[in-house]
Protein backbone atom coordinates (compact mmCIF):
# COMPACT_ATOMS: atom_id res chain seq x y z
CA UNK A 1 0.00 0.00 0.00
CA UNK A 2 1.21 3.45 -0.78
CA UNK A 3 0.51 6.30 1.61
CA UNK A 4 -1.63 8.00 -1.09
CA UNK A 5 -4.21 5.22 -0.66
CA UNK A 6 -4.60 5.90 3.07
CA UNK A 7 -7.41 8.06 4.41
CA UNK A 8 -7.13 8.85 8.13
CA UNK A 9 -9.44 10.87 10.35
CA UNK A 10 -10.82 11.15 13.85
CA UNK A 11 -14.57 11.06 14.53
CA UNK A 12 -14.48 14.78 15.25
CA UNK A 13 -13.23 15.41 11.68
CA UNK A 14 -16.63 14.24 10.35
CA UNK A 15 -19.61 16.60 10.62
CA UNK A 16 -22.40 14.90 12.61
CA UNK A 17 -25.93 14.60 11.27
CA UNK A 18 -28.64 14.99 13.93
CA UNK A 19 -30.96 12.00 13.59
CA UNK A 20 -33.20 12.99 16.50
CA UNK A 21 -32.97 14.55 19.95
CA UNK A 22 -29.59 13.56 21.42
CA UNK A 23 -28.73 11.18 18.54
CA UNK A 24 -26.01 12.03 16.02
CA UNK A 25 -24.51 9.98 13.17
CA UNK A 26 -21.18 10.50 11.44
CA UNK A 27 -20.91 8.66 8.10
CA UNK A 28 -17.43 7.32 7.43
CA UNK A 29 -15.77 6.48 4.13
CA UNK A 30 -15.73 2.79 3.34
CA UNK A 31 -15.89 0.21 0.59
CA UNK A 32 -18.67 0.07 -1.97
CA UNK A 33 -21.56 -2.00 -0.71
CA UNK A 34 -21.07 -1.09 2.96
CA UNK A 35 -22.06 1.87 5.09
CA UNK A 36 -19.82 2.59 8.08
CA UNK A 37 -20.77 5.04 10.77
CA UNK A 38 -20.26 6.35 14.28
CA UNK A 39 -23.30 7.20 16.37
CA UNK A 40 -23.19 9.35 19.48
CA UNK A 41 -26.17 9.20 21.82
CA UNK A 42 -26.50 11.66 24.69
CA UNK A 43 -27.42 10.39 28.18
CA UNK A 44 -31.09 9.43 28.41
CA UNK A 45 -31.67 9.51 24.64
CA UNK A 46 -33.46 6.98 22.45
CA UNK A 47 -33.13 6.39 18.72
CA UNK A 48 -36.04 8.40 17.28
CA UNK A 49 -37.55 5.60 15.20
CA UNK A 50 -37.48 1.82 14.78
CA UNK A 51 -34.24 0.93 12.96
CA UNK A 52 -35.12 -1.75 10.38
CA UNK A 53 -32.38 -3.85 8.78
CA UNK A 54 -32.34 -5.64 5.45
CA UNK A 55 -30.98 -9.02 4.40
CA UNK A 56 -27.54 -8.33 5.89
CA UNK A 57 -28.57 -7.14 9.36
CA UNK A 58 -26.34 -4.70 11.21
CA UNK A 59 -23.11 -4.94 13.20
CA UNK A 60 -22.42 -2.58 16.11
CA UNK A 61 -19.51 -2.22 18.53
CA UNK A 62 -20.17 -0.19 21.68
CA UNK A 63 -17.11 2.04 21.98
CA UNK A 64 -18.18 3.80 25.18
CA UNK A 65 -21.19 4.08 27.47
CA UNK A 66 -24.13 1.71 27.47
CA UNK A 67 -26.78 0.66 25.00
CA UNK A 68 -30.17 -0.69 26.05
CA UNK A 69 -31.98 -3.12 23.75
CA UNK A 70 -35.36 -4.12 25.18
CA UNK A 71 -34.56 -4.67 28.86
CA UNK A 72 -30.95 -5.82 28.30
CA UNK A 73 -28.12 -3.36 29.03
CA UNK A 74 -24.91 -3.76 27.02
CA UNK A 75 -21.70 -2.07 28.16
CA UNK A 76 -18.70 -0.63 26.31
CA UNK A 77 -16.65 -3.26 24.53
CA UNK A 78 -19.69 -5.33 23.53
CA UNK A 79 -20.17 -6.35 19.89
CA UNK A 80 -23.78 -6.72 18.73
CA UNK A 81 -24.71 -8.55 15.54
CA UNK A 82 -28.32 -8.00 14.50
CA UNK A 83 -29.60 -10.70 12.16
CA UNK A 84 -31.22 -10.37 8.74
CA UNK A 85 -34.48 -8.43 8.64
CA UNK A 86 -34.22 -7.50 12.32
CA UNK A 87 -35.26 -4.23 13.89
CA UNK A 88 -34.67 -2.34 17.13
CA UNK A 89 -35.00 1.06 18.79
CA UNK A 90 -32.03 1.42 21.15
CA UNK A 91 -31.72 3.80 24.05
CA UNK A 92 -29.02 4.70 26.55
CA UNK A 93 -28.88 5.68 30.19
CA UNK A 94 -25.34 7.07 30.39
CA UNK A 95 -24.79 8.02 26.74
CA UNK A 96 -22.99 5.97 24.12
CA UNK A 97 -20.59 6.05 21.19
CA UNK A 98 -21.17 3.27 18.66
CA UNK A 99 -19.27 2.10 15.60
CA UNK A 100 -21.39 0.25 13.07
CA UNK A 101 -21.50 -1.35 9.67
CA UNK A 102 -24.44 -1.97 7.37
CA UNK A 103 -23.77 -4.14 4.34
CA UNK A 104 -26.16 -3.30 1.53
CA UNK A 105 -28.65 -5.96 0.51
CA UNK A 106 -27.70 -8.08 -2.48
CA UNK A 107 -30.85 -7.13 -4.48
Alpha carbon distance 68, 33 (integer Å):
28
> What does the pLDDT look like over 19-37, one tens digit per residue?
999 999 999 998 888 899 9
Alpha carbon distance 29, 19 (integer Å):
19
> What does the pLDDT look like over 62-104, one tens digit per residue?
999 999 999 999 999 999 999 999 999 999 999 999 999 988 7
What's the pTM value of the predicted model, to 2 decimals? 0.88
Specify if 9 maps to a domain. Answer: no
The total of structural domains in the chain comes to 1
**Higher pLDDT residue, 93 or 3?**
93
Task: Give the CATH number, domain containing residue 40.
Answer: 2.60.120.10
Specify if 106 maps to a domain. Answer: no
Amino acid sequence: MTIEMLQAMTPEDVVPLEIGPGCFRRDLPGPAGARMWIVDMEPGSQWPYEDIHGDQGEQVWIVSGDLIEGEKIFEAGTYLCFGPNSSHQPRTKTGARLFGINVRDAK
